Amino acid sequence: MSGYESTVPDELGDPAVRGAEVPEPGAVTIVVPTFNESGNVRELLRRITESVPGRLPCEVVFVDDSTDDTPEVISKVAQDCPFPVTVLHRDEPVGGLGGAVVEGMKAATSDWIVVMDGDLQHPPSLVPELVATGERAAAGLVVASRYIKGGSRAGLAGSYRVAVSRAATWLTKSLFPRRLHGISDPMSGFFAIRRSAVTAAILQPLGYKILLELAVRSRPRQVTEVPFVFQDRFAGESKSTAWEGLRFLRHLAGLRTASPVARMVAFGLIGATGFVPNLLGLYALTALGIHYLPAEILANQLGVAWNFCLVEHLLFRERRRHRARWDRVGRFALLANADLVLRIPLIALLVGQFGMGVLPATALALVTTFVLRFAGTEALVYLPRRNKAGRGSRTPRSRTPRRTA
């Protein structure tokens, strides 16, 4: 069954067991996304117990996508914790680690939310300092950074991972220089944010870089940083894979093309790349002896298919749910081929009726049909369908997780 289930036993609702009430605003909710971290959670909760509740009230919310016994281990250890511990187990890990963090933020009850990994590479002892720094600076976001004085990436094992981290940091800061101004470590997964600064409805997380998502889509006005030393993983193996790297690049593309103008530019660049499969297909078909006219028509479909795949995954990933795949394919192909049909009559009109030269008329026709095709793709392929009442298409209701402290 999809949705969320609390895996903390009901008897933990007894005040004698939970040891503390759900914290009032002004305390901290620690959100920990987990995926097969059964070897780490006992030590993580022990260190949180040692360093956090003595300085400020806290609660811990685990959002778990595990396929092992991590939820059971958490529920067992939680019985000895002097603060509320909640587990939200997701049967469908939508959005990956970033999606898990957003769900944890929705469940938070405190003014401050601290996000940290469950592998102890983020030291729990720094949680009170993150919140205190945010209060002193009246900040909405406090980033634990490896790249300011006093910080270190010592636990980032291997030259390959160091190189990947450096490249990812450089790339993101190059793509979003204004939004990431003042954030030296946009790849950090350790940060504190005021709950009032989180607008969950606008977040579209993909993969594990949730700080980047927050900074670009709903960055608070005041941001500050605290240095931290990236620790060695306590137990288990890193979840970083080549697939996560691809998801990160897709996430970057989605963030960078969020505005209509940027999306139209990207749409044009994708269309330009479609000439490659088109020309290769034309070469292959004519080499087989097919007449160039039907060969061009068939080869054009290769370019259409190529463009559709890139547009689907890079520009309109979040809008694919509005229509069935076959419907999107059909509409996209129709618009792409209509572009060819419209262009020739438009060139003839510009030359014959308005006296334009062939080259400027062709250029104007290309620009005109491109803009029309982009607008048509957004409006006819990827905008939500209207129901009979004239309202937007329905989105499935999500179950509210049963919360047990």
**pLDDT tens column, 10-54:** 433 333 333 334 444 458 999 999 988 888 899 999 999 999 998
Structure tokens belonging to residue 122 = 């983020």
For residues 248 and 268, state if they share a domain: no
Residue 392 inside a domain? The answer is no
**CA 356, 357, 358, 361 torsion: positive or negative?**
negative
How does residue 225 score in pLDDT terms, banded at 50, 70 and 90?
Answer: very high
250 lies in the same domain as 298: no
Query: Which CATH number fits the domain that encloses residue 171?
Result: 3.90.550.10
pLDDT for res 187: 82
> Is the same domain home to 365 and 316?
yes
pLDDT of residue 391: 42
**Nearest of 63, 57, 69, 71 to residue 18 by alpha carbon:** 57
User: Average pLDDT, stretch 267-271?
Assistant: 81
Whether 173 and 119 share a structural domain:
yes
Q: Which two tokens stand for residue 53?
A: 């509740």
User: Is the pLDDT reported for residue 5 higher than 50?
Assistant: no
Cβ(14)–Cβ(405) under 8 Å? no
Same domain, yes or no: 72 and 155: yes
What digits encode the pLDDT tens for the residues 207-221? 567 888 887 777 777
Q: Are residues 238 and 250 in the same domain?
A: yes
Count how many domains the chain has. 2
Indicate the residue among 238, 256, 274 that finishes a domain: 256
In degrees, to the nearest 5, what angle opens at C-alpha 200 toward C-alphas 196 and 203?
A: 130
The whole-number average pLDDT for the span 99-106 is 88
| Whether the predicted pLDDT of 1 surpasses 70 | no
Residue 59 contacts residue 86 (beta carbons within 8 Å): yes
Tell me the pLDDT tens digit for each residue of 321-355.
778 888 888 888 888 888 777 877 887 888 888 88
Q: At what angle do helices 325-352 and 358-376 cross, to 10 degrees?
A: 150
CA dihedral sign, ordered 239, 241, 247, 251: positive
Q: Which residues contact 322 (CB under 8 A, 6 or more apart)?
A: 382, 383, 384, 385, 393
The predicted-structure confidence for 363-395, as pLDDT tens digits, reads as follows 787 778 788 888 888 888 887 655 544 444 433
Check: pTM over 0.85? Answer yes or no: no
What is the C-alpha to C-alpha distance for residues 161 and 163, in angstroms, rounded to an integer? 5
What is the mean pLDDT of the segment spanning 224-244?
Answer: 72
Question: With 70 as the cut, is the pLDDT of residue 125 above it?
Answer: yes
Q: How far is CA 18 from CA 80, 104, 118, in A?
A: 8, 20, 21
Residue 189, number of CB atoms within 10 A of its CB: 20
Higher pLDDT, 154 or 398: 154
> Angle formed by the axes of helices 260-273 and 358-376, to 10°?
120
Q: Domain limits at 351?
A: 260-382
Domain limit, last residue, from 233, 256, 279: 256
Domain assignment present for residue 397? The answer is no
pLDDT higher than threshold 70 for residue 314: yes
Cβ burial of 175 (10 Å; 0-12, 13-18, 19+) is: middle
Which pLDDT score, from 0 to 100, does residue 251 have? 67
Same domain membership, residue 265 and residue 246: no
Tokens read off for 375: 């607008």
pLDDT in tens, 162-187: 777 777 777 777 777 777 788 888 88
